[in-house]
Structure 1
């Protein structure tokens, strides 16, 4: 039998949820490599893991941990962010599910790439973004989504899913539905337009840029305006 991943016991989840609630995990695994999930599945017959349900945790910004978690908590912390190529006039950028969302937006801006700036300062991780189909200021994830890699906890299969597969809706996706509940996001790839134009459909954002005298704002300037608006609220 393959070795069991290093699973911690009775771990405080207070640092891992934005409300700072003092919930604890009966069993806890910080996942930084998809291979850990393979090892975990291979070891499910072990007495300590048999029949123990899974609880997937990302950045803890969209979950209310009002009690201790009796399940095995899989804390998705897979790192990595890179430009991987171009396709149909868009630059493809991939990030691990555990990357901080706003940090990833800043990474794309540092590469001179626009497309995610309207989603600046949204809390959470990259892996949670398609699950919620996060959106703000006239933009949703589905508008810049290329594909993602998901791990099926039941079969151990890695699946590449495109937009149609993800069934994006308003703050909804396949992953919040019954037949997608066993899928864990490993990484996400975004298609950012090479020929970028600012998305100023949201009136408050357009007004803020006008008042700043920015008639032709850069992606960085749009991001800064979004951050300023968010911090005022």
Structure 2
């Protein structure tokens, strides 16, 4: 896992429909930050989901959890449809044992990942190379020492301990999102974090997103010395 200079652009594009595929360059990663809409706006789109996705949504008892899940899956399908030209309901999404969604037998080498927290959803896409994203709403972490001891390195634990208390929650989530984005990009769950170390095949970048949130993106780099792709962040674009 390496920190790396990179190009980040914040955009508010106004697309009028059709495929977005030509707009995603081979040396780019596109990130989409969207607001979770109310449940009544999501319900008419349920036909776009698979039966398994609908069952997973129904098992969520809290309305806020159900909204986040539906917004994430519907937003992902909408974007995959725009980039590929394939109808959203025709995209056969599945998920790994760690919960990472993937496209079974995709006709295009489109890699993607998503994260949601509180009232926002973050979706990342790029060609061929893997990508991981994580988004967190900054909130009090009451057991930060216990969590840090389990998942963070000794140096990270010292950094947290020495951080002024009013700034500690934000720092905790900044560190957490970078770790989680890499784990999601590689397809490992938190159980794999203990073996997580420096990896020249990945670049992990912090992101400046909406106020009250922190985020990170992890990008696979397959060649030594290869530059990280340009990262373009789009906000609040309806599918």
TM-score, normalised with respect to structure 2: 0.26
Radius of gyration: which is bigger?
1
Query: Which structure shows the higher helix fraction?
Result: 2
Q: Which has the higher contact order (CA 8 A, sep 6+)?
A: 2
TM-score, normalised with respect to structure 1: 0.26
